[in-house]
Amino acid sequence: MNRIVERFARLKKEGQKGFVIYIGAGDPNLEATRQLALAFDKAGVDVVELGVPFSDPLADGLVNQLAAQRGLESGTTPAKLLQTVAEIRKDSQVPIVFYVYFNILHKYGLQKFICDAASAGVDGLLVLDLPPEESENYETLMRDAGVCVIYLIAPTTPEERMEYIVKRGTGFIYYVSREGVTGMQTKVSETISDMTAKIRKHTDLPIAVGFGISNPEQARAVAEKAEAIVVGSAVVNQIAQHGKGSDLVQRVTEFVKPLVEAVKQ
């Protein structure tokens, strides 16, 4: 069974909420990415999302754009990142998702990328700029490879299109709780309950809510309304602050643990 599907089934059985973490791959280098993924697994993180560095990350705010830039500067390529995932798999079975722009898949070769990702141990792809209406071949290749097709729902998504999207997704649905780009926020959106209720009318897939969660209080509040939460920019910001220090993994893990605990209470 796919690791994402397996993890959410276990969480449901245990009555627990999931914690999804996002970091930019190769920031500050791929060895740090490997060590962070292993540390996150030990800290109770349920899914690790790795942003594949891209030169034009249009869906990302400044914090994650800079992480992508640092990833590119460290020499991170899709092939090297897949090698890093294979290294992570020697020590951990934590579910791994690639947060990626379609141009990378297109340049690498769509079928080859999906097959290589599955072989390395990637469990899901979240392709930011590939609408479901244009992804039939992609979905077929993903299904054949056993990799989850993760789609985004936005606050502005009409319910009719929402129904169309969720029926084509697998693993979990990523609900983007705010309009605009990624980034930390001082308070969570007030429409999360209404939107997750709408999504649930059309799917049994777990819903993970992200974009803007940056402290334990916000994490706890959002976890009450969804099956999982996603924390990205707040963690990426910690990597930016401590990336040049020898205690990077320890510092970032210390930041993450209270967030995980808030969700798991």
Query: Rounded to 5 degrees, what are φ and ψ at 255?
Result: -70, -35
Q: For residue range 40-64, what is the model confidence (pLDDT) as tens digits?
A: 999 999 999 999 999 998 878 888 8
The one catalytic residue in 27, 41, 49, 116 is 49
Residue 173 DSSP one-character state: E
Per DSSP bridges, beta strands 152-153 and 173-176 are parallel
| C-alpha gyration radius of the chain | 17
Q: What is the CATH number of the domain that holds 154?
A: 3.20.20.70
At 214 the three-state DSSP class reads coil
The rounded mean pLDDT for the chain is 93
Q: For residue range 57-104, what is the model confidence (pLDDT) as tens digits?
A: 887 888 889 999 999 999 999 999 999 999 999 999 999 999 999 999
Helical spans, DSSP H, in 182-247: 192-200, 216-223, 233-242
- Domain enclosing residue 101, as ranges: 3-264
Residue 134 DSSP one-character state: G
Q: What per-residue confidence (pLDDT) applies to 186?
A: 47
- Give how many domains the chain has, as a whole number: 1
Does position 181 have pLDDT exceeding 50, yes or no? no
Does position 178 have pLDDT exceeding 70, yes or no? no
The one catalytic residue in 60, 116, 123, 227 is 60
- Catalytic residue flag (residue 159): no
- Catalytic residue flag (residue 60): yes
Over residues 223-249, the mean pLDDT reads: 95
228, β-bridge pairs: 18, 208
